[in-house]
Amino acid sequence: MVEWRKRVVSNNGVNLAVFEVGDSAHGADERPRPTVLLIHGWPDTHHLWTHVAPILAADFHVVAYDCRGFGESDRPDGDDPYRLSELADDVFAVAEAVSPDQPVHIVAHDWGSVQAWEAVTRPGADHRIASFVSVSGPNLDQLGDWARDNLSRPTPRNLGNALSQAASSAYTVFFQMPLLPKLFFGAAGSPAVWRAFLHRVEGTPRENVVVGDTLREDMISGLRLYRANIRTKLRDPHTSPTFVPVLEVVNERDIALRPAIFDGTHRHTQRLWRRSTATGHWLPYTNPAYLAQTAHDFISAHAPRTPADVAGRLDRNRLFGPPKPLSGKLAVITGAGSGIGRETAYALAEQGCELVLADIDVAAAEETARESKAFGAQASPYELDVSDTSAVSTFADEVRRAHGVPDIVINNAGIGLAGSALDATDEQVDRLLDVNLRGVISGSRAFGRQMVERGVGGHIVNIASAAAFTPQRSLGLYSASKAGVLLFSESLRAELAEHRIGVSAICPGIVDTNIVGNTPIAGLDAETEVAERNRIDGLYRRRGFTPDRVARDIVRAIIRNKAVVPVTPEAKVGYRIYRFTPWVSRIAARRKVTQ
C-alpha cells in the first residue's frame, strides 16, 4: 500500500486534502524531479491512484488530491461550487502549492479529466501545466460540439455514433434527478457493491479497487458535478484551444464513453497524441501498470533532456488530423521485404501505425521502411529468419525493449514448395515447415505472451493460404503447412479471446507475388523445373490480383476482428466448397496443376 504524505491546500475558502509520494527534490542525475498531479473522478478519491502512484514515484514527485466534494476535502453546499470553472481553479491552486517553480504534469481520469480539460484550455495554461494525460474524460465543450456536428449532418454513421453515445450516457439523466439517485446510492453505495460492479462490468480484480470510508457520501456529493455542468456545457458549448501537449488514452470498451466522441479533439489541441486499446473505463484499477508506463513515457518525453528513444517512441501516437481506427498502434510484420508483407506495411503506415519490419533479406526490409516513411510512419527494419526459433524470441525481446509491446503482429514470412510429396527432399520439407508453420507459431507465442502480460489486448494476423482448404496433388506439403497455420490460428483465437487478443487467419488464393518465382518443384529436373515455374509465374501475373488488395483485407480483418479471411474469388469459393461439399474438393485435387 502506498504511503501518502498529507497536507492541505486552500482555494477561496475550500480546503483540499492533498497527498504526496516520491521525492520532490533532485533525482540521482541531479535534475529536479517533475511533479505529476493525479486527479480522480466520480465516485473516487485519491485512492484511485493507489496502484499507479508508486510506479510513477520511482522517477517523479507524485501528488494526488481529493477533489472538492470527495474524500477528506471540503464539501461546499449547493451546485454552483462544483462548476468546472471552480474545479479548474482548484487544479491551479494545488499545482502552485506543490510545484511553485516548475509546471506540473497532469494525469486525470473521468471527471478529473473533464476538469483538467477546463484547466488546460485556459489562456496561458501551458506555463503552469507541462503535459496532460487524459483518461476516460472528454472536454465537455468539445463533446457538445461533437454532438452538434453529428446531429447537423445526419448521415447513418453520424447518427449511429450519436445514438451509441446517448445510450452510454443515459445514466447521467438519472444522476441529475433531484431525489432518486441519492436514495439509490444511499442504499447501494457500499464498497462491496462497488467492487462487485467493477468486477462484473470490466473484470477488475476486486482487490485492486481501493476506496475510502467516504464512498457512499462521495457518490451522493459527486452528483453535483453532473447537475452543475452537463446541461450547461452541452446546451451552449464554447470551445477553446490548448497549447498543452495532450495524450488521449482511449478505452475502446468504455461503458460510459464511446471512442467516436474523441474524433474531433485534434481541432482544438495544438499537440495531440492518442493511445487506444481494448480496455474499460476504470483503467487505473484494472490495468495500473499499463497506465503508469504510458503516462511515464509521455511525461518523460515532455520533461527536460528527454531521452531520444522515449521521444521517438512517442511520435507514433501523435495526431495531425482525424484519428483512424489503427492510429498510434505498433505493428510488427515478418516477411516485410516484398509482396504481401511490404504492401501491408504501406497500408498500416497509411493508418498511422509505427512499423517494425523484419525479413531474412534485411536490404529488402530497409527498402520497405524507406517507402513506409513516405506515408509519415516510423519504420524500423530488422533481419530475421523466422525458422530460427531462438532468433524469433530474441527479436521479440528486442522489439519490446526498443519499441514496446506491439499491438499488431503479422506473421507473414513464408516460402513455397510444389510437386510430389514423395519426391521432395527431407531438407525441403524441414525448411518448409520451419518457415511456414513453426515460424508462425514462434512469432505468435513470443509476442502473444507479451500481449497477455501487458493486459490491454492486441491482434495477431497469420498468413495462411487458400491451399489450406483446397487440396491439390502437387501442393500437398505446402497445403499441410498452411492448413496447420489455419487451424493453429483458430485454436489460438479461442485461447486468447479472454485476453481481448484477436487472431485472424488470412487465406489468399492466386496472388501476384514473387513467392512463385522462388518456389522449388520437387520431382523435376532443373531445366523442366525452371520452365514449369515460369509458366505458373506467368499464370499468376495474368491473374492480376496484386498484394495490395490482400493488404486491404488484412487491415479490415484487424479492425473488424475477423477469424478467417479468404482472399480472392477462388479462395472464397474454395472455402465454401470445402466446408459444405468437401467431396468436390477431393475430386478436383486429383487434377495435375504444375506438370
Rounded distance between C-alpha atoms, residue 117 and residue 92, angstroms: 12
CA-based torsion, 512, 517, 518, 519: positive or negative: positive
Query: Residue 261: is its pLDDT beyond 80?
Result: yes
CB atoms within 10 A of CB 235: 8
What is the average per-residue pLDDT within 29-41?
86
Q: Report whether the peptide linkage leading into residue 43 is cis, meaning its omega lies within 30 degrees of zero.
A: yes
Rounded distance between C-alpha atoms, residue 38 and residue 107, angstroms: 5
For residue 309, the model assigns a pLDDT of 55
**CATH architecture of the domain formed by 5-319:** 3-Layer(aba) Sandwich (3.40)
Asked whether the domain spanning 330-588 has the same topology as the one spanning 5-319, the reply is: yes
Give the pLDDT confidence of 549-578 residue by residue, as tens digits. 999 999 999 999 999 999 988 888 888 888
3-state helix, strand, coil in the chain (%, to 5): 50, 15, 35
DSSP string, 360-381: SSHHHHHHHHHHHHTTT--EEE
Q: Active-site residue numbers?
A: 478
Please tell me what DSSP assigns to residue 323.
P
Give the pLDDT confidence of 475-493 residue by residue, as tens digits. 889 999 999 999 999 999 9
Query: Residue 513: is its pLDDT beyond 80?
Result: no
For residue 595, the model assigns a pLDDT of 33
Give the pLDDT confidence of 308-357 residue by residue, as tens digits. 555 555 655 676 678 888 988 999 999 999 999 999 999 999 999 999 99
Helix, strand or coil, per DSSP, at residue 413: coil
**Strand 5-11 relative to strand 14-21: parallel, antiparallel, unpaired?**
antiparallel
Average pLDDT over the chain, rounded to whole?
90
Rounded distance between C-alpha atoms, residue 226 and residue 208, angstroms: 26
Query: Residue 198: is its pLDDT beyond 60?
Result: yes
Q: Which of 532, 536, 301, 332 is nearest to 442 (CA)?
A: 332
Where exactly are the structural domains of the chain? 5-319, 330-588
pLDDT tier at 361, thresholds 50, 70, 90? very high
- Residue 538 neighbours by CB under 8 Å, 6+ apart: none
For residue 477, the model assigns a pLDDT of 94
The C-alpha angle 253, 254, 260, rounded to 5 degrees, equals 90
Q: Which of 462, 532, 456 is nearest to 493 (CA)?
A: 462
For residue 573, the model assigns a pLDDT of 87
Q: Which three cell numbers stand for residue 259?
A: 471512442
Q: Which CATH number fits domain 330-588: 3.40.50.720, 3.40.30.10, 3.40.50.300, 2.40.50.140?
A: 3.40.50.720
For residue 530, the model assigns a pLDDT of 72
pLDDT tier at 498, thresholds 50, 70, 90? very high
Give the pLDDT confidence of 428-440 residue by residue, as tens digits. 999 999 999 999 9
What is the average per-residue pLDDT within 504-509?
94
pTM for this entry: 0.86
For residue 188, the model assigns a pLDDT of 86
Give the pLDDT confidence of 112-132 residue by residue, as tens digits. 999 999 999 999 999 999 999
Query: Residue 306: is its pLDDT beyond 90?
Result: no
Rounded distance between C-alpha atoms, residue 131 and residue 106, angstroms: 6
240 contacts 263 by C-beta, under 8 angstroms: no
For residue 288, the model assigns a pLDDT of 96
